[in-house]
Amino acid sequence: MANKYKYKLKEESTISSDSGFTSGGTGENYASKYAFKKIKEGPGATLGPGPKAGPEGVKDNVYVKKFKYKLVDRPALNKAAKGIEVKALWEANTNVEEFITGLNITNPDNKKFITSRILGFDELETKLNELIPLLQQAKHKTMDFYRQDPNSFTVLYGTDIANDYLNDLLELFKD
């Protein structure tokens, strides 16, 4: 009986989200042109339409405009803390080009060398930030493995050697 009325019905999707995807009638997914756009992260990042972020965050936002929130006055907050310095957890990245220009180096090989040494820290930081989610995934995979086989002595990930490497790295960068 359902086949009798099928030609009269038009299939419509009732799925809705902010993901940039829409569901087609045939089960296909279509992405908007912004769905996989790479974005620059950090202070001053352009995250699409809207006000731009500065070192203090987004100052011209909906909370300030419509809800009349007031932004924190950091110098006044530090002064009111009475001896406790309030510090941002992540400070703005150093502009390497400005730093090199400020050194007034004339030798291009020296400029290139110093630039690569400083950018090496950014590369290390990026890799360490990439490592954290990988560690969390490995931990969950290990837990799942031992849940399936609690009598196993199998080592899935070499955490002992990884800890040794990290201890060596910590010693390398200590003053």
Per residue in 2-36, pLDDT tens? 555 555 555 454 454 454 444 444 444 445 555 55
pLDDT at position 61, please? 72
Helices (DSSP H) in the chain: which residue ranges? 2-5, 62-65, 74-80, 96-103, 108-148, 159-173
pLDDT digits (tens, 9 = 90+) for 47-95: 566 666 666 666 677 777 777 777 777 777 777 776 666 565 555 556 8
CA dihedral 151, 156, 159, 165 (to 10 degrees): 150
pLDDT tens digits for range 114-129:
999 998 988 998 899 8
| Residue 146: other Cβ atoms inside 10 A | 13
pTM of the predicted model as reported, rounded to 2 decimal places: 0.45
